[in-house]
Protein backbone atom coordinates (compact mmCIF):
# COMPACT_ATOMS: atom_id res chain seq x y z
CA UNK A 1 0.00 0.00 0.00
CA UNK A 2 1.49 3.37 -1.03
CA UNK A 3 2.05 5.64 2.00
CA UNK A 4 -0.13 8.44 0.69
CA UNK A 5 -2.76 6.29 -1.02
CA UNK A 6 -6.22 7.30 0.26
CA UNK A 7 -6.87 3.80 1.55
CA UNK A 8 -3.67 3.87 3.64
CA UNK A 9 -5.03 6.74 5.73
CA UNK A 10 -8.51 5.29 5.99
CA UNK A 11 -7.34 1.81 6.99
CA UNK A 12 -4.68 2.97 9.44
CA UNK A 13 -7.02 5.47 11.06
CA UNK A 14 -9.90 3.05 11.40
CA UNK A 15 -10.79 4.60 14.75
CA UNK A 16 -11.74 7.80 12.93
CA UNK A 17 -12.96 6.27 9.68
CA UNK A 18 -15.35 3.68 11.11
CA UNK A 19 -17.49 6.16 13.12
CA UNK A 20 -17.82 8.35 10.00
CA UNK A 21 -18.88 5.37 7.91
CA UNK A 22 -21.12 4.29 10.79
CA UNK A 23 -23.05 7.57 10.75
CA UNK A 24 -23.68 7.22 7.01
CA UNK A 25 -24.69 3.57 7.49
CA UNK A 26 -27.20 4.63 10.16
CA UNK A 27 -28.56 7.41 7.95
CA UNK A 28 -29.06 5.03 5.01
CA UNK A 29 -30.52 2.43 7.35
CA UNK A 30 -32.95 4.94 8.79
CA UNK A 31 -34.17 6.18 5.42
CA UNK A 32 -34.53 2.78 3.73
CA UNK A 33 -36.13 1.34 6.90
CA UNK A 34 -38.74 4.11 7.14
CA UNK A 35 -39.59 3.95 3.43
CA UNK A 36 -39.76 0.13 3.39
CA UNK A 37 -42.08 0.07 6.40
CA UNK A 38 -44.32 2.83 5.00
CA UNK A 39 -44.37 1.05 1.63
CA UNK A 40 -45.39 -2.14 3.36
CA UNK A 41 -48.84 -0.60 4.02
CA UNK A 42 -49.90 -0.20 0.35
CA UNK A 43 -48.03 -3.42 -0.41
CA UNK A 44 -50.17 -5.16 2.23
CA UNK A 45 -53.33 -3.79 0.58
CA UNK A 46 -52.17 -5.11 -2.79
CA UNK A 47 -51.22 -8.50 -1.35
CA UNK A 48 -54.31 -8.99 0.83
CA UNK A 49 -56.78 -8.06 -1.89
CA UNK A 50 -54.82 -9.61 -4.78
CA UNK A 51 -57.44 -12.39 -5.00
CA UNK A 52 -59.57 -9.79 -6.79
CA UNK A 53 -57.11 -9.87 -9.74
CA UNK A 54 -58.77 -13.16 -10.74
CA UNK A 55 -62.34 -11.97 -11.19
CA UNK A 56 -64.76 -9.10 -11.53
CA UNK A 57 -67.25 -8.87 -8.67
CA UNK A 58 -70.75 -7.65 -9.52
CA UNK A 59 -73.84 -7.06 -7.38
CA UNK A 60 -77.19 -5.48 -8.24
CA UNK A 61 -78.22 -2.14 -6.73
CA UNK A 62 -81.77 -1.65 -5.48
CA UNK A 63 -83.29 -4.79 -6.98
CA UNK A 64 -81.67 -7.98 -5.60
CA UNK A 65 -83.30 -10.12 -8.29
CA UNK A 66 -81.23 -8.55 -11.09
CA UNK A 67 -78.05 -10.63 -10.66
CA UNK A 68 -78.90 -13.24 -13.35
CA UNK A 69 -79.72 -10.44 -15.83
CA UNK A 70 -76.40 -8.68 -15.17
CA UNK A 71 -74.46 -11.94 -15.59
CA UNK A 72 -76.26 -12.69 -18.86
CA UNK A 73 -75.50 -9.15 -20.06
CA UNK A 74 -71.79 -9.59 -19.34
CA UNK A 75 -71.61 -13.02 -20.98
CA UNK A 76 -73.34 -11.67 -24.09
CA UNK A 77 -71.48 -8.38 -24.53
CA UNK A 78 -68.04 -8.97 -22.99
CA UNK A 79 -65.24 -8.11 -25.47
CA UNK A 80 -63.21 -11.07 -24.18
CA UNK A 81 -64.27 -14.67 -23.56
CA UNK A 82 -65.73 -15.34 -20.09
CA UNK A 83 -64.66 -18.66 -18.61
CA UNK A 84 -67.01 -18.87 -15.68
CA UNK A 85 -69.58 -16.84 -13.73
CA UNK A 86 -70.04 -17.92 -10.12
CA UNK A 87 -72.97 -16.88 -8.01
CA UNK A 88 -72.02 -16.43 -4.39
CA UNK A 89 -72.96 -14.79 -1.11
CA UNK A 90 -70.66 -12.75 1.09
CA UNK A 91 -70.27 -11.61 4.66
CA UNK A 92 -67.59 -9.47 6.23
CA UNK A 93 -64.72 -10.29 8.50
CA UNK A 94 -61.46 -8.50 9.36
CA UNK A 95 -57.78 -9.19 8.94
CA UNK A 96 -54.87 -7.64 10.81
CA UNK A 97 -52.35 -5.25 9.28
CA UNK A 98 -49.44 -3.27 10.76
CA UNK A 99 -51.80 -0.27 10.94
CA UNK A 100 -54.82 -2.02 12.46
CA UNK A 101 -57.69 -4.14 11.20
CA UNK A 102 -58.92 -4.09 7.61
CA UNK A 103 -62.20 -5.47 6.22
CA UNK A 104 -62.14 -8.79 4.41
CA UNK A 105 -64.84 -10.78 2.69
CA UNK A 106 -65.91 -14.32 3.57
CA UNK A 107 -67.29 -15.74 0.33
CA UNK A 108 -70.06 -18.32 0.38
CA UNK A 109 -69.59 -20.75 -2.52
CA UNK A 110 -71.07 -23.96 -3.83
CA UNK A 111 -68.85 -27.03 -3.40
CA UNK A 112 -67.95 -27.35 -7.09
CA UNK A 113 -67.35 -23.60 -7.50
CA UNK A 114 -65.16 -23.60 -4.42
CA UNK A 115 -62.94 -26.35 -5.85
CA UNK A 116 -62.64 -24.55 -9.18
CA UNK A 117 -62.03 -21.18 -7.52
CA UNK A 118 -59.26 -22.60 -5.32
CA UNK A 119 -57.47 -23.84 -8.43
CA UNK A 120 -57.89 -20.42 -10.02
CA UNK A 121 -56.33 -18.88 -6.88
CA UNK A 122 -53.28 -21.11 -7.41
CA UNK A 123 -53.97 -23.45 -4.49
CA UNK A 124 -51.50 -26.33 -4.47
CA UNK A 125 -53.31 -28.44 -1.89
CA UNK A 126 -55.53 -28.50 1.15
CA UNK A 127 -54.93 -29.31 4.78
CA UNK A 128 -58.16 -30.67 6.34
CA UNK A 129 -61.28 -30.73 4.19
CA UNK A 130 -63.83 -28.61 2.34
CA UNK A 131 -66.72 -27.08 4.37
CA UNK A 132 -69.84 -29.24 4.43
CA UNK A 133 -72.75 -27.52 2.62
CA UNK A 134 -74.97 -25.74 5.16
CA UNK A 135 -72.67 -26.45 8.11
CA UNK A 136 -71.01 -23.63 10.14
CA UNK A 137 -67.61 -24.46 8.64
CA UNK A 138 -64.99 -22.39 6.89
CA UNK A 139 -61.95 -22.79 4.71
CA UNK A 140 -59.15 -20.23 4.81
CA UNK A 141 -55.85 -19.88 2.99
CA UNK A 142 -52.44 -20.12 4.67
CA UNK A 143 -51.76 -16.33 4.90
CA UNK A 144 -55.14 -15.80 6.57
CA UNK A 145 -54.47 -18.67 8.99
CA UNK A 146 -51.12 -17.10 9.94
CA UNK A 147 -52.57 -13.59 10.15
CA UNK A 148 -55.44 -14.54 12.47
CA UNK A 149 -53.57 -17.39 14.19
CA UNK A 150 -56.10 -19.93 12.94
CA UNK A 151 -55.72 -23.70 12.80
CA UNK A 152 -58.09 -26.52 12.04
CA UNK A 153 -60.89 -26.20 14.61
CA UNK A 154 -60.37 -22.46 15.28
CA UNK A 155 -63.38 -20.18 15.16
CA UNK A 156 -63.45 -17.79 12.20
CA UNK A 157 -66.87 -16.16 12.75
CA UNK A 158 -68.77 -16.12 15.98
CA UNK A 159 -71.99 -14.76 17.55
CA UNK A 160 -69.91 -12.86 20.16
CA UNK A 161 -67.94 -10.87 17.62
CA UNK A 162 -69.18 -7.59 16.21
CA UNK A 163 -66.73 -7.52 13.27
CA UNK A 164 -66.77 -11.26 12.50
CA UNK A 165 -70.37 -12.00 13.24
CA UNK A 166 -72.23 -15.18 12.46
CA UNK A 167 -75.19 -16.57 14.45
CA UNK A 168 -73.22 -19.76 15.02
CA UNK A 169 -69.52 -20.28 15.66
CA UNK A 170 -68.02 -21.01 12.24
CA UNK A 171 -65.00 -23.26 12.61
CA UNK A 172 -62.09 -23.68 10.24
CA UNK A 173 -62.09 -27.16 8.70
CA UNK A 174 -59.62 -26.61 5.88
CA UNK A 175 -56.52 -24.54 5.09
CA UNK A 176 -55.68 -24.01 1.41
CA UNK A 177 -52.05 -23.97 0.33
CA UNK A 178 -51.90 -20.71 -1.63
CA UNK A 179 -50.30 -17.30 -1.09
CA UNK A 180 -53.60 -15.59 -1.86
CA UNK A 181 -55.76 -14.37 1.02
CA UNK A 182 -59.06 -16.34 1.02
CA UNK A 183 -61.96 -17.09 3.38
CA UNK A 184 -64.87 -19.35 2.37
CA UNK A 185 -67.98 -20.89 3.82
CA UNK A 186 -70.56 -22.89 1.92
CA UNK A 187 -73.14 -20.76 0.08
CA UNK A 188 -75.88 -22.73 1.78
CA UNK A 189 -74.70 -21.66 5.24
CA UNK A 190 -74.65 -17.98 4.23
CA UNK A 191 -78.02 -18.17 2.50
CA UNK A 192 -79.56 -19.48 5.73
CA UNK A 193 -77.68 -17.34 8.26
CA UNK A 194 -76.47 -14.09 6.73
CA UNK A 195 -78.07 -11.02 5.28
CA UNK A 196 -78.64 -9.13 3.06
CA UNK A 197 -80.05 -11.84 0.81
CA UNK A 198 -78.31 -10.64 -2.33
CA UNK A 199 -76.64 -12.93 -4.83
CA UNK A 200 -73.30 -11.65 -6.02
CA UNK A 201 -71.55 -12.67 -9.21
CA UNK A 202 -67.88 -13.40 -9.78
CA UNK A 203 -67.02 -13.15 -13.49
CA UNK A 204 -63.79 -14.85 -14.58
CA UNK A 205 -62.06 -14.03 -17.87
CA UNK A 206 -60.86 -17.09 -19.78
CA UNK A 207 -57.38 -15.62 -19.92
CA UNK A 208 -56.33 -14.20 -16.52
CA UNK A 209 -54.10 -11.70 -18.32
CA UNK A 210 -57.23 -10.18 -19.85
CA UNK A 211 -59.18 -9.88 -16.60
CA UNK A 212 -58.26 -6.19 -16.27
CA UNK A 213 -59.61 -5.56 -19.78
CA UNK A 214 -62.92 -7.19 -18.80
CA UNK A 215 -63.00 -5.09 -15.60
CA UNK A 216 -62.53 -1.83 -17.52
CA UNK A 217 -65.09 -2.76 -20.11
CA UNK A 218 -67.67 -3.63 -17.41
CA UNK A 219 -67.04 -0.34 -15.66
CA UNK A 220 -67.81 1.60 -18.82
CA UNK A 221 -70.68 -0.70 -19.79
CA UNK A 222 -72.52 -0.46 -16.46
CA UNK A 223 -71.84 3.22 -15.85
CA UNK A 224 -75.00 4.85 -14.46
CA UNK A 225 -76.76 1.46 -14.22
CA UNK A 226 -77.92 -0.33 -11.09
CA UNK A 227 -74.89 -2.57 -10.74
CA UNK A 228 -71.98 -2.28 -8.37
CA UNK A 229 -68.58 -3.55 -9.50
CA UNK A 230 -65.56 -4.71 -7.56
CA UNK A 231 -62.40 -4.78 -9.64
CA UNK A 232 -58.73 -4.96 -8.66
CA UNK A 233 -57.79 -1.79 -10.53
CA UNK A 234 -60.19 0.14 -8.24
CA UNK A 235 -58.20 -1.10 -5.26
CA UNK A 236 -54.99 -0.01 -6.98
CA UNK A 237 -56.43 3.42 -7.82
CA UNK A 238 -57.85 3.97 -4.33
CA UNK A 239 -54.56 2.90 -2.75
CA UNK A 240 -52.61 5.32 -4.88
CA UNK A 241 -54.99 8.19 -4.06
CA UNK A 242 -55.02 7.28 -0.38
CA UNK A 243 -51.21 7.31 -0.15
CA UNK A 244 -50.48 10.27 -2.43
CA UNK A 245 -50.72 12.79 0.42
CA UNK A 246 -48.87 10.51 2.81
CA UNK A 247 -46.00 10.22 0.33
CA UNK A 248 -45.91 14.00 -0.09
CA UNK A 249 -45.55 14.36 3.68
CA UNK A 250 -42.99 11.56 3.67
CA UNK A 251 -40.95 13.36 1.01
CA UNK A 252 -40.79 16.46 3.21
CA UNK A 253 -39.83 14.37 6.26
CA UNK A 254 -37.15 12.42 4.38
CA UNK A 255 -35.90 15.62 2.75
CA UNK A 256 -35.55 17.28 6.16
CA UNK A 257 -33.89 14.18 7.56
CA UNK A 258 -31.45 14.09 4.64
CA UNK A 259 -30.69 17.78 5.17
CA UNK A 260 -30.01 17.28 8.88
CA UNK A 261 -27.83 14.24 8.16
CA UNK A 262 -25.97 16.13 5.43
CA UNK A 263 -25.25 19.15 7.63
CA UNK A 264 -24.18 16.88 10.48
CA UNK A 265 -21.96 14.81 8.20
CA UNK A 266 -20.52 17.94 6.58
CA UNK A 267 -19.56 19.20 10.04
CA UNK A 268 -18.12 15.82 11.00
CA UNK A 269 -16.10 15.66 7.77
CA UNK A 270 -14.88 19.19 8.43
CA UNK A 271 -13.75 18.27 11.95
CA UNK A 272 -12.20 15.09 10.54
CA UNK A 273 -10.18 17.08 7.99
CA UNK A 274 -9.33 19.82 10.51
CA UNK A 275 -7.55 17.23 12.62
CA UNK A 276 -5.20 16.71 9.70
CA UNK A 277 -4.04 20.30 9.20
CA UNK A 278 -0.49 19.45 10.31
CA UNK A 279 -0.36 16.63 7.77
CA UNK A 280 -1.63 18.87 4.96
CA UNK A 281 0.72 21.67 6.00
CA UNK A 282 3.74 19.39 6.10
CA UNK A 283 2.95 17.76 2.76
CA UNK A 284 2.36 21.09 1.07
CA UNK A 285 5.54 22.51 2.59
CA UNK A 286 7.70 19.67 1.27
CA UNK A 287 6.19 20.04 -2.19
CA UNK A 288 2.81 18.39 -2.62
CA UNK A 289 0.45 20.63 -4.58
CA UNK A 290 -2.91 21.75 -3.26
CA UNK A 291 -4.48 19.90 -6.17
CA UNK A 292 -2.78 16.64 -5.17
CA UNK A 293 -3.84 17.02 -1.52
CA UNK A 294 -7.36 18.01 -2.50
CA UNK A 295 -7.66 15.05 -4.84
CA UNK A 296 -6.49 12.72 -2.08
CA UNK A 297 -8.97 14.14 0.43
CA UNK A 298 -11.77 13.95 -2.12
CA UNK A 299 -11.01 10.31 -2.94
CA UNK A 300 -10.98 9.54 0.78
CA UNK A 301 -14.33 11.30 1.20
CA UNK A 302 -15.81 9.44 -1.77
CA UNK A 303 -14.55 6.12 -0.38
CA UNK A 304 -15.98 6.86 3.09
CA UNK A 305 -19.34 8.04 1.75
CA UNK A 306 -19.74 5.28 -0.85
CA UNK A 307 -18.60 2.62 1.65
CA UNK A 308 -21.11 3.97 4.19
CA UNK A 309 -23.85 3.99 1.59
CA UNK A 310 -23.15 0.47 0.31
CA UNK A 311 -22.75 -0.99 3.81
CA UNK A 312 -25.90 0.89 4.85
CA UNK A 313 -27.84 -0.67 2.00
CA UNK A 314 -26.48 -4.16 2.67
CA UNK A 315 -27.12 -3.88 6.44
CA UNK A 316 -30.53 -2.31 5.71
CA UNK A 317 -31.41 -5.17 3.40
CA UNK A 318 -30.23 -7.69 6.00
CA UNK A 319 -32.20 -6.06 8.82
CA UNK A 320 -35.32 -5.81 6.67
CA UNK A 321 -35.02 -9.53 5.85
CA UNK A 322 -34.68 -10.17 9.58
CA UNK A 323 -37.73 -7.99 10.30
CA UNK A 324 -39.64 -9.79 7.57
CA UNK A 325 -38.77 -13.25 8.92
CA UNK A 326 -39.18 -12.49 12.61
CA UNK A 327 -41.93 -9.88 12.72
CA UNK A 328 -43.86 -9.72 9.47
CA UNK A 329 -44.05 -13.21 8.00
CA UNK A 330 -45.45 -14.90 11.14
CA UNK A 331 -48.46 -12.56 10.80
CA UNK A 332 -48.43 -12.58 6.97
CA UNK A 333 -47.68 -8.85 6.94
CA UNK A 334 -46.22 -7.80 3.62
CA UNK A 335 -42.74 -6.28 3.49
CA UNK A 336 -40.36 -6.09 0.57
CA UNK A 337 -36.76 -6.07 1.92
CA UNK A 338 -35.51 -5.27 -1.60
CA UNK A 339 -37.93 -2.40 -2.12
CA UNK A 340 -36.31 -0.37 -4.95
CA UNK A 341 -38.11 2.83 -3.89
CA UNK A 342 -36.66 2.59 -0.38
CA UNK A 343 -33.13 2.26 -1.72
CA UNK A 344 -33.72 4.97 -4.33
CA UNK A 345 -34.59 7.36 -1.49
CA UNK A 346 -31.09 6.82 -0.01
CA UNK A 347 -29.29 7.90 -3.22
CA UNK A 348 -29.38 11.66 -2.44
CA UNK A 349 -27.70 11.06 0.94
CA UNK A 350 -24.16 10.23 -0.31
CA UNK A 351 -24.33 12.92 -2.98
CA UNK A 352 -25.47 15.61 -0.54
CA UNK A 353 -22.82 14.61 2.00
CA UNK A 354 -20.14 14.62 -0.71
CA UNK A 355 -21.15 18.06 -1.94
CA UNK A 356 -21.03 19.53 1.59
CA UNK A 357 -17.78 17.71 2.44
CA UNK A 358 -16.10 18.77 -0.82
CA UNK A 359 -17.28 22.37 -0.45
CA UNK A 360 -15.91 22.65 3.10
CA UNK A 361 -12.58 21.07 2.13
CA UNK A 362 -12.20 23.26 -0.97
CA UNK A 363 -12.92 26.40 1.07
CA UNK A 364 -10.38 25.31 3.69
CA UNK A 365 -7.69 24.62 1.10
CA UNK A 366 -8.24 27.95 -0.65
CA UNK A 367 -6.95 29.92 2.31
CA UNK A 368 -4.54 27.28 3.55
CA UNK A 369 -0.97 28.43 4.35
CA UNK A 370 1.53 25.61 5.01
CA UNK A 371 4.00 28.03 6.61
CA UNK A 372 1.48 28.70 9.36
CA UNK A 373 1.50 24.98 10.10
CA UNK A 374 5.25 24.34 10.05
CA UNK A 375 5.77 27.50 12.14
CA UNK A 376 3.20 26.08 14.58
CA UNK A 377 1.07 29.19 14.29
CA UNK A 378 -2.03 27.23 13.31
CA UNK A 379 -1.72 24.11 15.46
Nearest to another protein of 9, 204 (CB atom): 9
Nearest to another protein of 76, 291 (CB atom): 291
CB atoms within 10 A of CB 1: 8
The CB-of-358 to another protein minimum distance in angstroms stands at: 19
CB 269 within 8 Å of CB 360: yes
- Phi, psi at 226, each rounded to 5°: -90, 65
CB 17 within 8 Å of CB 300: no
CB 251 within 8 Å of CB 341: no
The CB-of-37 to another protein minimum distance in angstroms stands at: 41
The CB-of-265 to another protein minimum distance in angstroms stands at: 22
Nearest to another protein of 4, 208 (CB atom): 4
Nearest to another protein of 77, 289 (CB atom): 289
The CB-of-368 to another protein minimum distance in angstroms stands at: 11
Nearest to another protein of 152, 371 (CB atom): 371
The CB-of-327 to another protein minimum distance in angstroms stands at: 43
Q: What's the rounded Cα separation, in Å, for the pair 70 and 145?
A: 34
The CB-of-376 to another protein minimum distance in angstroms stands at: 6
Query: Which residues form the interface with another protein (CB under 8 A)?
Result: 3-4, 8-9, 12-13, 278-279, 282-291, 370-371, 374-376
Nearest to another protein of 281, 350 (CB atom): 281
Nearest to another protein of 142, 296 (CB atom): 296
Nearest to another protein of 331, 364 (CB atom): 364
The CB-of-13 to another protein minimum distance in angstroms stands at: 6
CB 39 within 8 Å of CB 342: yes
Nearest to another protein of 1, 220 (CB atom): 1
The CB-of-1 to another protein minimum distance in angstroms stands at: 9
The CB-of-15 to another protein minimum distance in angstroms stands at: 10
Amino acid sequence: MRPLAPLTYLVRNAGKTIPLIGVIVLAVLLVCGIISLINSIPLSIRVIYSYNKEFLGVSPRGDPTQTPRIVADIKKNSPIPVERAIICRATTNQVKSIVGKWPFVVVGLGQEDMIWYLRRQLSKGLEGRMPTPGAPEALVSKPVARNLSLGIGSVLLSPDSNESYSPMPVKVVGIADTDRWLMFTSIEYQQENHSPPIDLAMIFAKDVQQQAKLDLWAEAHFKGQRAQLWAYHQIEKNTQEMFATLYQILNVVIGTLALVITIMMGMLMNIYQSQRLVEFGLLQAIGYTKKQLLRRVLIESVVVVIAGWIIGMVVGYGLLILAQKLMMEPKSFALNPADPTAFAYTIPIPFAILVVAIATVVLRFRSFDPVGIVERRLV
